[in-house]
Structure 1
Amino acid sequence: MMTINMTKNTTSKVAWVEQVPDKFTKDSQTASGGGKKSNQDIKEFAESTSAHGLKNAVSERGSRFRRLAWFLAFLSALAFLGYQLGTCCVDYYKYPIQAQPTLKRMETLKFPTVTICNLNLADANKVENPEAVTHIFRVAKGGHWPAALNTTLDEMQNSDVYGPYLRRSYRELIHQMSSKVDEIFDFCTWNGEMVSCEDMLVPVWTFIGKCFKLNSNAAQPLVATRPGFSGGFFATLRTSLSGHTVSGQSSYGFKALVHHMYDFPDVYSKGLLLSPGFSYHVSLQENTIKYLPHPYKAQGEMYCSEYEDPTDLNMDQDMILSDTPAATFHSVTACIFHRANSQASSICGCNMKNCTLYKQLSCFEPTFTRIYDEATKMGLLGCPIPCTIHSYQPIISQAAFPAPDLLALDTMMTGNNSRMDKNLYLGLSLFFEDLIVRQQIHHPVYNSLSMMGMIGGNMGLLLGASLLTLAELLEFVLFLIWRMLPRPREDL
Structure 2
Amino acid sequence: MSVDENKTETVKFDADRRSPKYGLKDLWIEFSQSTGLHAVDKVKPPSISPFSIRGLLWMLALCSSLAFLIYNLVGEIGNYYSYPTVTKVTPSIQSSIEFPAVTICNRCTLNNTRLGVYPEMEAYFFNVSFGRIQNISFSAPTSEVFQEPLSLEWWKNMSMEGSKMLYQCIFGGEIFDCMTRFRPVFTTEGLCHTFNYNASDIVKVRTAGEGANLIIIFKISQNDYTFRGNMAAGIKVSLHNPRLHPDASTTVVMAAPGFSTYVALQKTQYLYQPSPYTAFDDIKCVDTNSPEFVNPLKYYSPYTYKHCLIECVQMKAFNVCGCVGPVDPRDGLMCSLVKLDSCYRPFVGSVSKDGNFVRECRCASECLFDRYTAQVSSSSFPASIWVNNFLNTTRAHTKESMQDNFLELRVFYDQMMVTSITQQPQYTVASLFSNIGGQTGLCLGASILTIMEITELLVCIVLFLCDKCRGRKARNRINNW
Q: Give 1:304's aligned residue.
A: 286
Per the TM alignment, residue 67 of structure 1 is displaced from its structure 2 partner at its CA by: 2.1
Deviations 1:86-114 (A, max 9, x none): 22222222322222111221112121101
Counterpart Cα distance in 1 of 2:339 and 2:249: 19
Q: 2:57 aligns with which of 69, 81, 86?
A: 69
CA contact (8 A) 1:133 1:165 kept: no
User: In the TM superposition, what are the counterparts of 1:45-444 in structure 2 within 5 Å?
Assistant: 45-58=31-44, 60=46, 64-128=52-116, 132-140=120-128, 142=129, 145-146=130-131, 152-156=132-136, 158-160=138-140, 163-170=143-150, 171-266=152-247, 271-300=252-281, 301-306=283-288, 325-326=298-299, 329-353=302-326, 354-374=334-354, 379=359, 381-414=361-394, 418-419=398-399, 420-444=401-425
Look up the equivalent residue of 1:58 and give its one-letter code: K
Q: Call closer, same or farther: CA 1:186–1:374 in 2, change over 3 Å.
A: same
Counterpart Cα distance in 1 of 2:417 and 2:435: 36
Q: Call closer, same or farther: CA 1:154–1:338 in 2, change over 3 Å.
A: same
Per the TM alignment, residue 129 of structure 1 is displaced from its structure 2 partner at its CA by: 5.6
SS in 2 for 1:231: coil
Of 270-279 and 114-123, more deviation after overlay is shown by 270-279
Counterpart Cα distance in 1 of 2:68 and 2:413: 55
Counterpart Cα distance in 1 of 2:348 and 2:186: 16
Counterpart Cα distance in 1 of 2:141 and 2:73: 79
Per the TM alignment, residue 330 of structure 1 is displaced from its structure 2 partner at its CA by: 4.3
CA contact (8 A) 1:156 1:162 kept: no
Given the two structures, how large is their TM-score scaled by the length of structure 2?
Answer: 0.82
Look up the equivalent residue of 1:54 and give its one-letter code: V
Look up the equivalent residue of 2:57 and give its one-letter code: A
Look up the equivalent residue of 1:64 and give its one-letter code: S
Counterpart Cα distance in 1 of 2:246 and 2:305: 11
Counterpart Cα distance in 1 of 2:228 and 2:209: 33
Give the length in aligned residue pairs: 439
Counterpart Cα distance in 1 of 2:437 and 2:104: 59
SS in 1 for 2:211: helix
CA contact (8 A) 2:73 2:436 kept: yes
CA contact (8 A) 2:303 2:366 kept: no
Per the TM alignment, residue 358 of structure 1 is displaced from its structure 2 partner at its CA by: 0.8
Counterpart Cα distance in 2 of 1:327 and 1:173: 24
Deviations 1:31-71 (A, max 9, x none): xx97x832232233233321112222336368823322221
CA contact (8 A) 1:291 1:304 kept: no
Look up the equivalent residue of 2:127 and give its one-letter code: V
Counterpart Cα distance in 2 of 1:158 and 1:198: 37
CA contact (8 A) 1:187 1:197 kept: yes
Any unmatched runs of 5+ in structure 1?
1-21, 147-151, 309-323
Q: Call closer, same or farther: CA 1:66–1:132 in 2, change over 3 Å.
A: farther
SS in 1 for 2:459: helix
Look up the equivalent residue of 1:108 and give its one-letter code: S
Counterpart Cα distance in 1 of 2:247 and 2:300: 21
CA contact (8 A) 2:36 2:445 kept: yes
Counterpart Cα distance in 2 of 1:335 and 1:366: 20
Deviations 1:257-278 (A, max 9, x none): 1111012212798611222222
CA contact (8 A) 2:263 2:377 kept: yes
Q: Call closer, same or farther: CA 1:268–1:82 in 2, change over 3 Å.
A: closer
Look up the equivalent residue of 1:137 and give its one-letter code: F
CA contact (8 A) 2:149 2:335 kept: yes
Q: Give 2:9's aligned residue.
A: none
SS in 1 for 2:243: coil
Given the two structures, how large is their TM-score scaled by the length of structure 1?
Answer: 0.80
Identical positions, percent: 24
Counterpart Cα distance in 2 of 1:380 and 1:404: 56
Counterpart Cα distance in 1 of 2:357 and 2:259: 34
CA contact (8 A) 1:283 1:431 kept: yes
Q: CA RMSD in A?
A: 3.2
Q: Call closer, same or farther: CA 1:380–1:438 in 2, change over 3 Å.
A: farther
Counterpart Cα distance in 1 of 2:444 and 2:373: 53
Per the TM alignment, residue 203 of structure 1 is displaced from its structure 2 partner at its CA by: 1.2
CA contact (8 A) 1:136 1:162 kept: no
Per the TM alignment, residue 378 of structure 1 is displaced from its structure 2 partner at its CA by: 5.7
CA contact (8 A) 1:57 1:69 kept: no
Q: Call closer, same or farther: CA 1:489–1:302 in 2, change over 3 Å.
A: closer
Counterpart Cα distance in 2 of 1:351 and 1:488: 81
Larger Rg: 1
CA contact (8 A) 2:89 2:421 kept: yes
Q: 1:468 aligns with which of 449, 458, 472?
A: 449
CA contact (8 A) 1:459 1:466 kept: yes
Look up the equivalent residue of 1:94 and give its one-letter code: S
User: In the TM superposition, what are the counterparts of 1:453-492 in structure 2 within 5 Å?
Assistant: 453-485=434-466, 486-488=468-470
Look up the equivalent residue of 1:263 and give its one-letter code: L
Of 121-130 and 69-78, more deviation after overlay is shown by 121-130
SS in 1 for 2:164: helix
Q: Call closer, same or farther: CA 1:377–1:91 in 2, change over 3 Å.
A: farther
Counterpart Cα distance in 2 of 1:250 and 1:463: 76
Counterpart Cα distance in 1 of 2:154 and 2:239: 28
SS in 2 for 1:228: coil
Look up the equivalent residue of 2:41 and give its one-letter code: K
